Structure 1
Amino acid sequence: MDQIKCPVLTEKTIGLLEKNRYIFDVNINSTKTEIKKWIEFFFNVKIITINSHRLPKKKKKFNTITGYSTCYKRVIIKLKPGYSIPLFSSKWKNK
C-alpha cells in the first residue's frame, strides 16, 4: 500500500465522486496495472478505467538554495456501478 499516497479532495474531485470517479496521488514509479491490483485488492472494488498524469514540478526557494518540490503521479479511477471507496475511513489515518 506504499504505492498509493493519499486521495485528492478538492472541489473538482468531490464533483467527480458523483460520477463514481476517484482521484489518488501515487508513487511516480508505479504503473497502471500495479495501481489497479492494489486498489482492487485493498478496497475490494472493480475498476473500469485508469487515467494517469504527472504533476509539474514547482520551484521552491530556501534563502539562497533553489530546488523543486516532490513530484507525484495523479491517477483518476472509474469504478463499475455499485462499487464505492470510503475516503474518510481509518485506512487513511496513518498516511
Structure 2
Amino acid sequence: MKNIYGVLKGPRLTEKAALLQEEDGKIVFKVHPKANKIEIKKAVETMFNVKVRDVRTANMHGKQKRVGQKIGFTNDWKKAYVTLSEGEINFADEL
C-alpha cells in the first residue's frame, strides 16, 4: 500500500476493545485487508504522533446473513491490535 491514509479504516469500538485499551494499552483498528504490520505501524505513528511497540493482526471471515430466502455473506475484513509504548497517552479517548 502506498497511501498511509488508506491503511486504517477506523477504530473498532467494542466492549472487548475497551477492556484491552484500559488494561493493556492496546487499540483495535479495522484495516485494509492487504496491509501488513509494518504499514499499519507507520500509519498509526504518522497519523496520531504516538510510538507503537507491537502490532498483531487477525483476518476476520464474513458472517452468514439471510434476507428473505436468499443466503449470503458479509465481507471478510482484517483487524489490527496496536500496542502503544510505555508512557504514551491513550489517544483513543479523543475519537
TM more than 0.5:
yes
More helix as a share of residues:
2
Within 5 Å, give how 1:57-76 maps onto structure 2: 57-76=62-81
Select which of 48, 52, 59 maps to 1:54: 59
Query: TM-score with structure 1 length normalisation?
Result: 0.81
How many pairs are equivalent?
90
Q: CA RMSD in A?
A: 1.7
Counterpart secondary structure, 1:81: coil
Query: TM-score with structure 2 length normalisation?
Result: 0.81
The alignment-based identity, stated in percent, is 29
Aligned to 1:17: 21
> Offset of 1:56 from its aligned partner?
2.0
> Offset of 1:5 from its aligned partner?
1.2
> Offset of 1:87 from its aligned partner?
2.6
Which 5+ residue runs of structure 2 have no aligned equivalent?
A: none
Which 5+ residue runs of structure 1 have no aligned equivalent?
A: none
